[in-house]
């Protein structure tokens, strides 16, 4: 570890001197929901975004969806700007030809088509909505998508890809009900670049009581067997008081192959890690 990547947000963690006056952690408040409170017992939707490229957002979203489906209807949604391989990696049972853009107004009269008829499927039981680079039609946004999923009784896990400043993600970031997960690979350079993402969040959502940084969980994904195990430990030390939690996903040969992700074939420590992550972000 080098010393130059320990000065997160130019502040020391709570209780440590920094040479400047350290501010208190941002409050855990974001913009209010517009559609009322969640139904009792429903988990929070989750947005997974990369703190840098190649951060493992897709596998993290699939891992969370695989754990979340045991508690109710779950759908993994491609929320990238131009389409990712979410369905290609996760639809190990059925890859449906209908994409998210077609579903949104598939019934006409500004109403989505029946979702059950449009979902790709995993053997674990959760559905998937894939998208391509075609823009959402008729001024629809991911707020349109989120409202339709919520009204249909689905809990969504969004794969937002990278970067977090993507225009399509703003409606999801604005929603206080959606839990935010920032994923990075277990590398020092990725931890350094995470700082830029956290500063962007703090700049855009840190004022007027909208403390999204304090409601953010960091995921450190071990994509290679030789990844640096000290990265998560270092982040916990220097982001204490700023973020909700730092969670490690261990190296898993099944994920490392880059092929279809079958939740049942993940190693037990991997599934346990996704379970811990879900317990922290979606309660």
Please report how the helices 188-205 and 230-239 are oriented relative to each other, as an axis angle in degrees rounded to 10: 30
Provide the residue ranges of all domains of the chain, joining segments of one domain with +. Answer: 43-281
- For domain 43-281, the CATH class is alpha beta
User: Would you write out the chain's pLDDT as a tens digit for each of its 283 residues?
Assistant: 444 444 443 443 333 433 433 444 433 334 444 444 555 567 899 999 999 888 999 999 999 999 999 988 999 999 999 999 999 999 999 999 999 999 987 765 667 888 999 999 999 999 999 999 998 877 889 999 999 999 999 999 999 999 999 999 999 999 988 999 999 999 999 998 888 899 898 888 875 444 788 889 999 999 998 877 799 999 999 888 889 999 999 999 999 999 999 999 999 999 999 999 999 986 6
Distance from CA of residue 195 to its chain's centroid?
17
How far apart CA 77 and CA 83 sit, in angstroms, is: 10
DSSP codes joined into one string, 58-114: HHHHHHHHHHHGGGS-EEEEE-SSS--SHHHHH-SSB--S--HHHHHTTTBTTBPPP
Residue with tokens 């670049």: 193
The CA distances from residue 216 to 106, 182, 205, 210, in Å, are: 34, 7, 12, 12
The reported pTM is: 0.85
Count other C-beta atoms under 10 Å from residue 176's C-beta.
16
């Amino acid at each position: 570890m080098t010393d130059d990547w320990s000065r997160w947000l130019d502040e020391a963690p709570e209780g440590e001197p920094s040479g400047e006056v350290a501010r208190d952690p941002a409050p855990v408040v974001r913009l209010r929901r517009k559609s009322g409170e969640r139904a009792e017992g429903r988990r929070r939707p989750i947005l997974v975004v990369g703190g840098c490229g190649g951060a493992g957002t897709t596998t993290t979203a699939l891992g969370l969806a695989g754990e979340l489906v045991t508690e109710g209807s779950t759908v993994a949604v491609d929320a990238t700007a131009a389409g990712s391989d979410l369905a290609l990696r996760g639809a190990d049972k059925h890859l449906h030809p209908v994409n998210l853009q077609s579903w949104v107004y598939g019934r006409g009269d500004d109403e989505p088509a029946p979702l059950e008829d449009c979902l790709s499927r995993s053997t674990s039981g959760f559905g998937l909505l894939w998208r391509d680079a075609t823009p959402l039609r008729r001024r629809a946004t991911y707020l349109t998508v989120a409202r339709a999923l919520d009204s249909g009784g689905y809990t969504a896990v969004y794969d937002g890809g990278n970067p977090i400043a993507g225009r399509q993600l703003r409606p999801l970031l604005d929603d206080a009900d959606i839990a935010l997960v920032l994923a990075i690979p277990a590398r020092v350079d990725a931890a350094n670049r995470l700082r830029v993402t956290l500063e962007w969040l703090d700049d855009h959502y840190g004022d007027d009581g909208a403390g999204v940084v304090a409601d953010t969980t960091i995921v450190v994904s071990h994509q290679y067997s030789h990844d640096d195990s000290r990265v998560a430990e270092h982040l916990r030390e220097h982001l204490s008081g700023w973020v909700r939690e730092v969670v490690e996903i261990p190296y898993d040969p099944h994920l490392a192959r880059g092929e279809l992700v079958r939740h049942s074939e993940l190693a037990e420590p991997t599934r346990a890690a996704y379970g811990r992550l879900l317990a922290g972000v979606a309660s």
